[in-house]
């Protein structure tokens, strides 16, 4: 089991630079979900949802172009 986890983490680390940003976000959300879940079957507690939304907001702010501004009409 440890070998499979090690191989999977090495694979993700090496080939992550070639992933599309959506795949990177999915990997990051899985890590956050595993870190903040309260039990093994937890996937929707408030703590996990807030952590996932925070990750999505950080991802969007890093992807959006810095010079693009929203001007009022």
Residue 8 has pLDDT above 80, yes or no: no
Q: What distance lies between CA 37 and its chain's CA centroid?
A: 14
* Contact status, residue 29 vs residue 55, Cβ threshold 8 Å: yes
pLDDT confidence of residue 16? 64
Q: What is the pLDDT of residues 16-69, one digit of tens each?
A: 667 777 888 888 888 888 888 888 887 688 888 899 899 998 888 887 777 767
pLDDT confidence of residue 33? 86
Q: Tell me the CA distances in angstroms from 46 to 38, 50, 57, one per residue in order.
A: 10, 6, 16
Q: Report the distance separating Cα 6 and Cα 61, nearest Å.
A: 31
* Contact status, residue 70 vs residue 55, Cβ threshold 8 Å: no
Question: Model-level pTM greater than 0.75?
Answer: no
Residue 1 has pLDDT above 70, yes or no: no
């Amino acid at each position: 089991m440890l070998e499979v986890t090690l191989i999977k983490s090495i694979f993700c680390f090496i080939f992550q630079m070639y992933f599309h940003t959506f795949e990177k976000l999915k990997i990051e959300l899985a890590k956050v979900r595993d870190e903040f879940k309260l039990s093994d079957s937890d996937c929707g507690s408030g703590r996990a949802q807030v952590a996932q939304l925070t990750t999505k907001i950080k991802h969007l702010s890093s992807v959006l172009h810095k010079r693009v501004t929203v001007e009022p009409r």
